[in-house]
Amino acid sequence: MALQCGIVGLPNVGKSTLFNCLSNAKAQAANFPFCTIEPNVGVITVPDERLNRLAELVHPQRIVPTTVEIVDIAGLVKGASKGEGLGNKFLANIRETDAIIHVLRCFDDDNVTHVDGSVNPVRDKEIIDYELQLKDLETIESRIQKVQKQAQTGGDKAAKQTYDVLVRYKEALEQGRSARTVTFDTKDEQKIARELFLLTSKPVMYVCNVDEASAVKGNKYVEMVREAVKDESAEILIVAARTEADIAELETYEDRQMFLAEVGLEESGVARLIKSAYKLLNLETYFTAGVQEVRAWTYEKGWKAPQCAGVIHTDFEKGFIRAEVIKFDDFIQYGSEAAVKEAGKLSVEGKEYVVQDGDIMHFRFNV
């Protein structure tokens, strides 16, 4: 599943520095706007200690983790919705992503210029929100023109539902609220809303880029962000991107852990960000475990067994017969598939089984 998170923010807030930490693809992290012209794409491994624990028991020939794509998108400026700066490029790139990682500058440094002359993460957030909202409003108004007459005079139920969804979005956007703050009760309305692909309907995570001294507890700028987004149901992550860059350059795992301990962190900001991005996309992991490989597979939360089988191969979904399921904790407790079976802890599930995060799966199929 090639799902993408787009890293966005104003110029010089630390997007490319953070991207460099996340990926081996090195974006140019320079102290001037638009150093990232084309979106840089990095395929990021999702850290999952469960994979290592399974491998210790199974001793496979190889271990295959799950991944998420991270896209570093050019910095946005005021007027982007009208094509200012690299606005059109920015908006096209962000439209293709599944979720947004919004980086906010939450540190003081006279050596790093700010496009608006001063540090104010809430103002920066509002600039990007405003530009994305304007573009969404343009989309909504264009759609309203197409369906309004049909909805109001033609007796077309589908057109009426679409019109009602558009009007609710229009009201929110005109009030300066993003589309993600609007909720719909019926499945039909939810489907119409999804198919509009609005920029501000995408799930968002705010990453507060701080100095090293603020890496553990944050600072006054982080508190400003918390207050500003308290009604958005959005996740906030504190990351010291420059410190993370230093950690990324260390060669051994032990050196990186010592560095983290000195700073006062148990886990790197990069690892926390990747895990959070995975959750932001509403993703979970199931495993397959055998002597050839122990592998993590990505699926959307709530998927049933046949859909999850299809992640491996479409034939698995088409010819699905049943799934043999072992819970992760049971596998760890008993130490092998054979011991789990002997203990009666392997379950056989049909087409309606909703796969759970951490399940170890073996699919039976016939095509």
User: Residues at the annotated binding site?
Assistant: 12-17
Q: How many CA atoms lie within 13 A of 264 on its CB side?
A: 9
Write out the E strands in 197-276.
Answer: 204-209, 235-239
Are the CB atoms for 68 and 296 separated by under 8 Å?
Answer: no
Are the CB atoms for 8 and 101 separated by under 8 Å?
Answer: yes
Report how far residue 30's alpha carbon sits from residue 245's, in angstroms, rounded to the nearest whole number: 14
* Strand 360-365 relative to strand 320-326, pairing: antiparallel
Residue entry with tokens 């996340």 = 22
Show the tokens assigned to 132: 């994305």
Residue entry with tokens 């701080």 = 210
CA quadruple 19, 23, 25, 29: dihedral positive or negative? positive
Report how far residue 133's alpha carbon sits from residue 174's, in angstroms, rounded to the nearest whole number: 8
Find all residues with CB under 8 Å of 310, minimum gap 6, and list them. Answer: 316, 317, 318
Find all residues with CB under 8 Å of 31, minimum gap 6, and list them. Answer: 12, 111, 112, 113
> In Å, how far from its chain's centre is CA 30?
25
Count of CB atoms within 10 A of residue 166's CB?
24
- Torsion, Cα 134 140 144 147, to 10 degrees, reads 160
Write the DSSP symbol of residue 3: -
Q: How many CA atoms lie within 13 A of 241 on its CB side?
A: 20
Return binding residues for ATP.
Answer: 12-17
Write the DSSP symbol of residue 188: H
Report how far residue 367's alpha carbon sits from residue 363's, in angstroms, rounded to the nearest whole number: 13
